């Protein structure tokens, strides 16, 4: 659909398919921590190579999309660069937060995006947030807290204040990336690869520069480590963000943010099945709370759904009957 100002916007459609794409993207993201752990490399190396290797797949796809759909608008290219800078900042700050407060607490902190993403869409784009979603925010965050094990003894170590600030900052940067990525998808739905490719390049530069001054970057790795880092780039960067880029413009911001909360829950599932990690009963309970809260926030009330389904099917026949009745009465009067 093209607006009067010539900007293409995503058509409105059923939310089932876009939600499935976002869930698949969240599943790819949830495997990232597992790949990093199996690769056994520094945080700076993982963040930089995650983006740099992904460009080997994204660049050919970018040129193919360029020949098919033309260039992305210059303003949207700027949005993509800015989004990539935020994504690179997110990767670096989150990794540093892990070193300060641990992976469990850092996972909780970065999920401040569930509030920041819809709030940015509300303040900048004027997108409304549903009352049902606002009511489930505390439940979602509480479930994430339980699932991460942050409340268990010995969960947080290191510099708690600095780690907390870094984790919250990473969550805000993550939300900014999601919002800018959504804007590009809404205004130019035919360009899916281009914004991801540009933002990934910007994220690679940002993470590379930051990595040099923090944990360092090394390319001297074992073949197994290269294999896991390559899997991180293909699934955690290419597949994840392409799927999310297609799905999020067709969903409300609060819906996208809620679905992405499934990411740490699925990460725990990967750890259980592949890494043989054993979650505590408290963590399992947190997973169930998150899943239930996301389902409740996305659920359409039965009465509302009935009214919406009947509106289109009943309004036209009623109007038609009124029109036919008027014509019959008018004909009788004339005769």
26-71 pLDDT, tens digit per residue, is 888 878 878 877 888 887 888 899 999 999 999 999 999 999 999 9
Q: Could you tell me if 32 and 236 are in contact, meaning their C-beta atoms sit under 8 angstroms apart?
A: yes
List the single range of 114-118, 180-184, 185-189 with lowest mean pLDDT: 114-118
pLDDT of residue 333: 53
pLDDT of residue 312: 44
The whole-angstrom distance between residue 210's C-alpha and the CA centroid of its chain comes to: 23
> Full-prediction pTM beyond 0.85?
no
Q: What is the mean pLDDT of residues 14-21?
A: 76
CA atoms of 260 and 25, how far apart (whole Å): 8
Q: What is the mean pLDDT of residues 5-13?
A: 47
CA atoms of 46 and 69, how far apart (whole Å): 33
pLDDT of residue 216: 81
Q: What is the mean pLDDT of residues 196-200?
A: 94
Coil vs helix vs strand at 280: coil
Q: Could you tell me if 294 and 266 are in contact, meaning their C-beta atoms sit under 8 angstroms apart?
A: no
CA atoms of 167 and 174, how far apart (whole Å): 10
pLDDT band at 159 (very low <50, low <70, confident <90, very high): low
């Amino acid at each position: 659909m093209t607006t009067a100002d010539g900007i293409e916007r995503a058509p409105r459609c059923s939310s089932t398919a876009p939600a499935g794409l976002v869930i698949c993207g969240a599943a790819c993201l949830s495997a990232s921590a597992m790949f990093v752990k199996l690769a056994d490399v520094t945080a700076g190396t993982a963040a930089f190579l995650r983006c740099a290797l992904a460009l080997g797949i994204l660049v050919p796809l970018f040129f193919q999309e360029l020949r098919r759909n033309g260039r992305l608008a210059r303003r949207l290219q700027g949005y993509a660069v800015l989004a990539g800078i935020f994504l690179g900042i997110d990767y670096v700050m989150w990794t540093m937060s892990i070193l300060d407060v641990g992976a469990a607490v850092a996972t909780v902190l970065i999920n401040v995006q569930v509030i920041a993403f819809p709030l940015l869409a509300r303040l900048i784009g004027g997108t409304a947030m549903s009352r049902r979603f606002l009511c489930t925010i505390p439940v979602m965050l509480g479930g994430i807290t339980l699932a991460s094990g942050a409340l268990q003894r010995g969960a947080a170590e290191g510099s708690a204040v600095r780690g907390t600030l870094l984790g919250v900052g990473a969550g805000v940067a993550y939300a900014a990336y999601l919002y800018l990525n959504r804007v590009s998808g809404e205004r130019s739905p035919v360009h899916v690869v281009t914004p991801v490719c540009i933002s990934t390049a910007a994220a690679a530069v940002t993470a590379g520069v930051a990595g040099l001054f923090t944990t360092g970057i090394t390319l001297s790795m074992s073949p197994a480590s290269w294999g896991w880092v390559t899997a991180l780039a293909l699934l955690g960067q290419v597949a994840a963000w392409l799927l999310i880029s297609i799905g999020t413009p067709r969903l409300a911001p609060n819906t996208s943010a809620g679905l992405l909360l499934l990411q740490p829950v699925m990460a725990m599932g990967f750890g259980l099945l592949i890494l043989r990690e054993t979650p505590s009963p408290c963590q399992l309970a947190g997973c169930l709370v998150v899943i239930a809260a996301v389902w409740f926030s996305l659920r359409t009330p039965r009465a509302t759904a009935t009214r919406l389904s009947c509106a289109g099917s009943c309004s036209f026949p009623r109007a038609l009957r009124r029109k036919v009745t008027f014509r019959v009465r008018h004909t009788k009067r004339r005769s």
